[in-house]
């Protein structure tokens, strides 16, 4: 192995952009079959993703090479980028252009891609969506006149401070729309390190071991100047404290309350029916006054099919009302029947993540990575996509 040439690398962002352009390399995942089955690179055509575990190259190199098309560029992927580098160098020795995914699936899980949703030069307001691709998690940064607000930040907080700095702004608030169960929030840490307020609604923050400011329904948040109006809307159901943020009457940051083609699961507190009833009232009463033109910006998505051509995960509320199956169940009993019969299994690690997000336990870096592996399981009532 020591005399193997060092293979070329590609970064997670380069791979993501190639997938978005529709010109991806063939992806060869060399992790074990169970790791591959639980989580891998998404958005590839069916035949462009292959799993040949690393050890098989040691046992039967020629047999493995026969399974690879000669004319295709290959990206080799493993957990951390080590065994994939070895396999990529073998492919290179046989005339196949193979690049190693730098940092492997760990780095893929930490890739954050920023896309501008709104930028109005005259009023100096920007709204950016930050897509943590490997987990299908979405955060937001709103900037107005040198002040920035971050919503649902992931634990890699440098992404948000850098984004604000690049626009000559300073973060002045961090908000979690609810107590997250699928990923570790960066909200409390970013608030502590910058000395800024951290907001989460009281109903979700019981037992929190850090200071927070609850967001009452109807609270107006000032940011930079009066050109941006941000109003907190209590939208319970996924959790009792779930709060959406209405920005300039145009954008609704829904957290895990409403997704593009599903809704946030109501069963994480073991009160599925009670919380599903809250969700029903949220969708059909609390959101009823909102215009069809309001753009829904969720905290998660269910698959690459929900990413629009411009790279943003979003849908007008009117389209969701027509197409999202959760709006098709009009009576409460029908809605409850539909939602309660579409609940996926709860990952066991979610309880520990919730406790960590209240500051009750602390994950070291290795355990944090392990706890967050794979896409979120926050949606109920998924439609096929």
Kindly identify the residues of this chain, within the stretch 294-353, that bind Fe ion according to CB under 5 A: none
298 sits in the region (left: phi over 0; alpha: psi -120 to 50; else beta) called beta
Please report how close the Cβ of residue 239 comes to Fe ion at its closest, in angstroms: 7
Min separation Cβ 357 and Fe ion, Å: 10
CA distance linking residue 208 with residue 356, whole number of Å: 9
Question: Residue 296, SS3?
Answer: strand
**Closer to Fe ion at the Cβ: 194 or 378?**
378
Smallest distance, Å, CB 183 to Fe ion?
9
- The answer to whether 253 contacts Fe ion (rule: CB under 5 A) is no
CB of 180 to Fe ion, least distance (A): 5
Q: Which of 64-72, 128-136, 255-263, 347-355 is the region at the interface with Fe ion (rule: CB under 5 A)?
A: 255-263
233 binds Fe ion (CB under 5 A): no
256 binds Fe ion (CB under 5 A): yes
Catalytic residue among 64, 78, 137, 378, which?
Answer: 78
Count of residues engaged in binding Fe ion, rule: CB under 5 A: 2
What residues have CB less than 8 Å from 290, skipping those under 6 apart? 246, 252, 317
Judged by beta carbon, residue 40 or residue 177, the one nearer Fe ion is 177
**64 belongs to the catalytic site:** no
Closest CA to 84 of 20, 10, 19, 134: 10
Hey, what are 76's tokens? Answer: 């080799």
Q: Tell me: does residue 29 bind Fe ion (CB under 5 A).
A: no
5: left (phi over 0), alpha (psi -120 to 50) or beta: beta
DSSP secondary structure, 161-217, as one string: HHHHHHTT-EEEEEE-SS--SSS-BSHHHHHHHHT--EE--GGG-TT-SS--B---T
Helix (H, G, I), strand (E, B) or coil at 286: helix
Only segment of 28-36, 88-96, 253-261, 311-319 that touches Fe ion (CB under 5 A): 253-261
Site stretch for Fe ion (CB under 5 A), options 19-27, 81-89, 355-363, 373-381: 373-381
Determine which residue in the list 279, 326, 378, 379 makes contact with Fe ion, applying CB under 5 A.
378
CA atoms within 13 Å, Cβ hemisphere of 311: 19
| Residue closer to Fe ion, measured from CB, 17 or 346 | 346
Contact, 112 vs 21, CB < 8 A?
no
29 CB-side CA count, 13 A: 21
Asked if 147 is part of the footprint of Fe ion (rule: CB under 5 A), the reply reads no
**Residue 41 found at the interface with Fe ion (CB under 5 A):** no
Measured from each CB, the residue nearest to Fe ion is 256
CB of 13 to Fe ion, least distance (A): 26
Q: Which pairing describes strands 26-29 and 74-77: parallel, antiparallel, or unpaired?
A: parallel
Segment contacting Fe ion by CB under 5 A, of 57-65, 157-165, 353-361, 372-380:
372-380
Cβ closest to Fe ion, residue 329 vs residue 376? 376
Identify whether the C-beta of residue 29 lies closer than 8 Å to the C-beta of residue 6.
Answer: no
Q: Is 372 in the site for Fe ion (CB under 5 A)?
A: no
Could you tell me the smallest distance in angstroms from the CB atom of residue 375 to Fe ion? 13
CA–CA distances in Å: residue 245 to residues 329, 347, 355: 25, 28, 24
Interface positions with Fe ion (CB under 5 A): 256, 378
Catalytic amino acids?
Answer: 78
């Amino acid at each position: 192995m020591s005399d193997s040439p060092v293979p070329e690398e590609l970064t997670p962002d380069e791979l993501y952009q190639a997938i978005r352009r529709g010109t991806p390399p063939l992806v060869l995942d060399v992790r074990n079959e169970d790791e591959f089955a639980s989580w891998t690179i998404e958005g590839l055509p069916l035949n462009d993703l292959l799993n040949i575990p690393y050890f098989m190259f040691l046992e039967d190199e020629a047999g493995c090479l026969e399974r690879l098309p000669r004319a295709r560029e290959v990206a080799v992927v493993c957990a951390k980028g080590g065994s994939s580098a070895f396999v990529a160098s073998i492919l290179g020795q046989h005339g196949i252009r193979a690049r190693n995914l730098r940092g492997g699936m760990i780095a893929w899980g930490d890739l954050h891609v920023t896309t501008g949703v709104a930028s109005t030069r005259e009023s100096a307001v920007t709204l950016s969506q930050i897509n943590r691709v490997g987990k299908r998690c979405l955060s937001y940064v709103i900037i107005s006149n040198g002040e920035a607000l971050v919503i649902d930040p992931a634990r890699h907080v440098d992404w948000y401070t850098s984004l604000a700095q690049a626009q000559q702004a300073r973060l002045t608030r961090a908000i979690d729309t609810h107590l997250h169960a699928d990923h570790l929030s960066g909200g409390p840490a970013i608030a502590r390190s910058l000395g800024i307020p951290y907001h989460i609604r009281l109903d979700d923050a019981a037992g929190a071991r850090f200071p927070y400011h609850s967001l009452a329904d109807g609270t107006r948040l000032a940011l930079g100047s009066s050109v941006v109006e941000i109003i907190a809307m209590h939208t319970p159901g996924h959790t009792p404290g779930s709060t959406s943020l209405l920005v300039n009457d145009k954008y609704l940051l829904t957290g895990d309350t409403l997704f593009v083609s599903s809704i946030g699961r109501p069963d994480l507190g073991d009160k599925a029916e009670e919380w599903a009833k809250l969700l029903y009232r949220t969708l059909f009463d609390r959101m009823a006054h909102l215009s069809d033109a309001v753009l829904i910006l969720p905290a998660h998505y269910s698959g690459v099919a929900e990413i629009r051509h411009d790279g943003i995960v979003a849908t007008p509320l009117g389209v969701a009302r027509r197409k999202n199956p959760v709006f098709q169940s009009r009576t409460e009993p029908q809605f409850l029947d539909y939602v309660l019969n579409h609940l996926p299994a709860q990952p066991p690690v979610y309880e520990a993540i919730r406790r960590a997000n209240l500051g009750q336990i602390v994950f070291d870096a290795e355990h944090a990575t392990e706890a967050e592996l794979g896409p979120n399981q926050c949606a109920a009532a998924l439609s096929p996509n």
